[in-house]
Structure 1
């Protein structure tokens, strides 16, 4: 079966409204910049799903634009949060101090601060003073992220660690689904199952056969992505593994992975996330099945839909009492 003709991965500018938001969390004295991709078509009140996206180490709110544009052009808003403690400033300054800056950025405190950034950004976009709040469907809130941002997604989804007998937990029950792209391991944790057992929201995991993380002082093979998927506590999950690719193919870089595969993986990732949301929110497995068949030529592992039962059709029912 030949791969289909590739459409442009990014929607035309007129299809999407883009707003840069410069927030400050006064309680933590921390800036939380964000970029919002919003559907340009008029939407009824309470009708727009929202994805809150967390970037990888050394990225910013302007990255992963192909995802924001694709999702917004198809009716799902995307709020891309910038984490000032682990954004592109990591690569600035004295090159001999990069390792120190990476270590600080990857520190446990920053990992928890990133989760707090995501929750704070959601607070602000849903605030009564927000121009967008009335149009957002609060039953369809999604956490998403790439690399370090995938860890952030899992943390707001319920991942927890124990330190000195105390459980560190930044779960935000408002998020009902997670999109987990290229998740690193939780460094320093020996029992991944214990960390991820409490993640019970539906999760869509994406990686590639050449998805190796190589940073100063850190290296993570593809198997780590598979181990994270296996350890997530819910059975309501699916895994897509692209053949070839790389860790950075999921960023806005246009050449990594090759000029042919790169746009295919980007388009497939953007589409696959929405297909999974149809399964998680509407209990409809057919979009994900169709997606798997369409992209099978570049998939080493094609995702299969989990069984659709009562809890699958209403993934937020159990959490509403906690919100």
Structure 2
């Protein structure tokens, strides 16, 4: 594996120092709720600092109550997002006995929308540069190191970890799951071996990185891909058609992978915005995506029968396509 700045051998020796750099009072229980099946969970905000990289990594953890170690989903937001986003998914996981750790990537987070409005295009372009893409994957590794190495780590089953993300965060997820790009003729390997499965929502292709199958063939963990027919990405200097999400699915090397394409919608429908893609459709798609994501995690980590035929029947009216690679899965 190619070693990058901030991940050398001395980095692990500094993790204890990094943990000590958590801001005073940063572990804040925000809420206890039970949105699914009567389960109770706690929401914690923590502000961690990766000392070797001089980079903050704020996180929000949705943690189910109980004494048994639980699986973990580690979530990466899209460009301009934050740890507060995608609560519709984090709460659902936690309400069903799965912890969900939502990172905030400080180089491409909601701070992009602050400051001079005339410079927002420059800020967006800076957030999309290669160094930030690498830093996001390092954020994921660091967040797992800190969580699993601390007191809260006793509540997590380190053998059952899923990476997940939306848009730019889907690229982060793919890199942490085995996607490789070439630099100076050599693969830049950012895979985290602790990741056992991947949830990829609205994934852009790897822009100007060459043949997609070569990049994604190293993603061999089970993967779930979620998109919609109007999932078009338009940011200054970058355009990606909805068909690109399906191309990512096709190119991924997973022996077990699922694809759900909802009818209509929009790229931002999968954020916490309640009206994006249409208010009625928004709620219906999120409900379907929640159930599918939960079934995928349980199947990928615990080999549970996912009940996909019933899921398809229930959501047929909003589905444009549903594909499963692994025909024995029903």
Could you give the per-residue CA deviations for residues 65-99 of structure 1, whole angstroms, max 9, x where no partner exists?
A: 11111110010010000000000111211222122
Q: 1:284 to 1:14 in 2, by over 3 A?
A: closer
**Residue 158 of structure 1 corresponds to which residue in structure 2?**
178
Q: Report the secondary structure of 1:90's partner residue.
A: helix
- The answer to whether the Cα contact below 8 Å between 1:51 and 1:79 also exists between their aligned partners in 2 is yes
Q: Report the secondary structure of 1:280's partner residue.
A: helix
* TM-score, normalisation: structure 1: 0.87
Mapping 1:35-50, distance limit 5 Å: 35-40=60-65, 42-44=66-68, 46=69, 48-50=70-72
Query: 1:220: Cα distance to partner?
Result: 0.8
List runs of 5+ in structure 1 lacking aligned partners. Answer: 1-9, 310-323
Q: Report the secondary structure of 2:279's partner residue.
A: coil
What is the distance in 1 between the residues matched to 2:303 and 2:94? Answer: 22
Q: Report the secondary structure of 1:214's partner residue.
A: strand
**Residue 314 of structure 1 corresponds to which residue in structure 2?**
none
Q: Report the secondary structure of 1:176's partner residue.
A: strand
**Residue 55 of structure 2 corresponds to which residue in structure 1?**
30
What is the distance in 1 between the residues matched to 2:90 and 2:170? Answer: 16
**Residue 84 of structure 2 corresponds to which residue in structure 1?**
62
> Aligned pair 1:270/2:290, yes or no?
yes
Q: Report the secondary structure of 2:225's partner residue.
A: strand
Q: Report the secondary structure of 2:142's partner residue.
A: helix
What is the distance in 1 between the residues matched to 2:304 and 2:317? Answer: 23
- The answer to whether the Cα contact below 8 Å between 1:296 and 1:302 also exists between their aligned partners in 2 is no
- The answer to whether the Cα contact below 8 Å between 1:289 and 1:305 also exists between their aligned partners in 2 is no
Q: Report the secondary structure of 1:117's partner residue.
A: helix
Q: Report the secondary structure of 1:50's partner residue.
A: strand
- The answer to whether the Cα contact below 8 Å between 1:49 and 1:76 also exists between their aligned partners in 2 is yes
**Residue 298 of structure 1 corresponds to which residue in structure 2?**
318
Could you give the per-residue CA deviations for residues 35-69 of structure 1, whole angstroms, max 9, x where no partner exists?
A: 000113x232x3x0100000000000001111111
What is the distance in 2 between the residues matched to 1:27 and 1:35? Answer: 22
> Aligned pair 1:11/2:35, yes or no?
yes
Q: 1:217 to 1:101 in 2, by over 3 A?
A: same
Query: 1:190: Cα distance to partner?
Result: 2.1
> Aligned pair 1:107/2:132, yes or no?
no
Could you give the per-residue CA deviations for residues 116-170 of structure 1, whole angstroms, max 9, x where no partner exists?
A: 001110111101x32x211211221000000000000000001111111232111
Could you give the per-residue CA deviations for residues 222-277 of structure 1, whole angstroms, max 9, x where no partner exists?
A: 01101111110122111000011110000000111112111111111111111112
**Residue 201 of structure 1 corresponds to which residue in structure 2?**
221
Query: 1:14: Cα distance to partner?
Result: 8.7
**Residue 73 of structure 1 corresponds to which residue in structure 2?**
95
* TM-score, normalisation: structure 2: 0.86
Mapping 1:171-250, distance limit 5 Å: 171-250=191-270
Structure 1 segments (4+ residues) deviating >3 Å:
12-15
Task: Kindly indicate whether structure 1 or structure 2 has the higher relative contact order, using CA contacts under 8 Å at least 6 residues apart.
Answer: 1
Could you give the per-residue CA deviations for residues 294-322 of structure 1, whole angstroms, max 9, x where no partner exists?
A: 1111110124362459xxxxxxxxxxxxx
> Aligned pair 1:137/2:162, yes or no?
no
What is the distance in 2 between the residues matched to 1:299 and 1:14? Answer: 29
CA RMSD of aligned residues (A): 1.7
- The answer to whether the Cα contact below 8 Å between 1:204 and 1:237 also exists between their aligned partners in 2 is yes
Query: 1:285: Cα distance to partner?
Result: 3.7
